[in-house]
């Protein structure tokens, strides 16, 4: 009787484990994806980006915090590459901070720049408002 009882308990325990295991795996997955994405601050001002070089990992979400630190000059952040799945084109007025979620998918090198240009003047990009994004494959960083 005692043996049967403990056997039944073991069976119950095993059953509970079967239920728990996928739940734990699921919880881990949710935690990994739901953990706060890294925030990367990029300042735009005085015809430059800082940093002008970024390294991100493919498939890993981040939030770009784009801060225009200039007093009067509106700027822009363009990061566009069809093959790379990148399509950001956002204007940031003087003093403004804009947060943009980004999950790069394709490894490679990409250019970002400010697309502002006043008539008869050099574009902001030509004046140095440009940078490079390197997207690495997971595990290679």
Residue 58 interacting with Cu ion (CB under 5 A): no
Residue 129 interacting with Cu ion (CB under 5 A): yes
Considering the complex, state which of residue 60 and residue 117 has its C-beta at the smaller distance from Cu ion: 117
Within a 10 A sphere around the Cβ of 58, how many other Cβ atoms? 18
The tokens of 76 are what? 């822009």
Considering the complex, state which of residue 84 and residue 124 has its C-beta at the smaller distance from Cu ion: 124
Residue pair 67/93 in contact by the 8 Å Cβ criterion: no
Listed ranges 14-22, 53-61, 92-100, 127-135: which one lies at the site for Cu ion (CB under 5 A): 127-135
Smallest distance from Cu ion to CB 93, Å:
11
Distance CA 75, CA 48 (A): 10
Q: Pick one of 68, 79, 81, 116: the residue that binds Cu ion (CB under 5 A).
A: 116
Strand order across the beta sheet in which 97-102 lies: 48-50, 38-45, 62-68, 97-102
Q: Which residues bind Cu ion (CB under 5 A)?
A: 75, 114, 116, 124, 129
């Amino acid at each position: 009787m005692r043996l049967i009882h403990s056997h039944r308990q073991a069976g119950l325990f095993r059953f509970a484990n079967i239920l728990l295991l996928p739940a734990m795996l699921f919880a881990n997955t949710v935690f990994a994806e739901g953990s706060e994405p890294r925030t990367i601050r990029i300042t735009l001002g005085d015809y430059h980006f800082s940093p002008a070089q970024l390294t991100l990992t493919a498939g890993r979400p981040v939030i770009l915090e784009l801060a225009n630190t200039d007093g009067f000059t509106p700027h822009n952040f363009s990061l566009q590459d069809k093959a790379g799945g990148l399509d950001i084109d956002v204007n940031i007025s003087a003093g403004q901070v804009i947060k943009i979620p980004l999950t790069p998918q394709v490894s490679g090198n990409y250019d970002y720049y400010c697309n502002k240009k006043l008539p008869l003047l050099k574009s902001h990009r030509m004046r140095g408002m440009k940078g490079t994004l390197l997207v690495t494959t997971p595990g290679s960083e």
